[in-house]
Structure 1
């Protein structure tokens, strides 16, 4: 997968896995990562799927309607890539915190839904429920931040609340930030994600 890796100053800090939104690139979330954890190593990935020329992490059938088989395939593809990247760049595979926005948050959520211990934590900006009707692994060791917009036309509040409930039901520690805006990632939301991260991982 097309990606960048930047080694951080603190090897004990979680590695930040950056996952962009539709039409983004592996460079989009670098400023956000610098805000959240400036000492962390960064692994930032570009999605392998394109939609009208825009990179994505998995196909969709329509807005808000995921191609579930492709989502499952791409989730395993990303899972396998993380295994290889940990070996290549010599970082702790058990010390990854994903930072995803929109489509990137959805593939991060799918990693959590499919693989026990896949992520130490996750910052999910405007995610949807990636899949329904599956049994989630035990997530009692995972801490998850969800950033949501009260007026998000793509990800309505009930979608956020359902995802929060599913993750909590699997044992995850979930904190949700509600902004007054729509689907965009705002400065106050980014700052809330930073504060959440520092609360959980500043002693790493």
Structure 2
């Protein structure tokens, strides 16, 4: 943790929890879970929606989203996406509100009143891929010096007979073009950080050492850390 900054506070505690660091005009949200895969449960989506609304009203102008580990040192995964057990239990009546909860989160990240950054690391699959790619700016975290921990960006929903509902079918063609989106949605490719950068899914690659420093410089370019 950088000097002068408090430790992240727990904003929401659940199967996947939300940690928060906040300054005068910036905020950093971290996803935290027991297994480190940060699944997007319905209760998490509701809590994240509430938090993002609160931050918008509070005048936040720079927002980062990542795995919580990167706030204080070493992180790992971004998000394994929606809980497939929960998705498997959806029916025609419950699927729509579930999808709309996810779409609200994606729309918040694209809100033009702030700049949003997603720090994408490790597993970012399915709904986690949707979430990662809705950052207005997107960084991919590289593998470590041993070649471990690199990005695994994928959208294998169709393998499970799932029609994604969080907005990826709209966002991916906007970012990657039809061919790029087809590589993830229909070709079931898994992209490392270099492929994500080349395809336009990521704007830059950052080393795992120093992720927090780079993020704080982006969040608070004046260096005030307030």
TM-score range normalised by the length of the shorter chain: 0.3 to 0.5
**TM-score normalised according to structure 1 size:** 0.45
**TM-score normalised according to structure 2 size:** 0.42
Q: Please tell me whether Structure 1 or Structure 2 has the larger radius of gyration of its CA atoms.
A: 2
Q: Which has the higher helix share?
A: 2
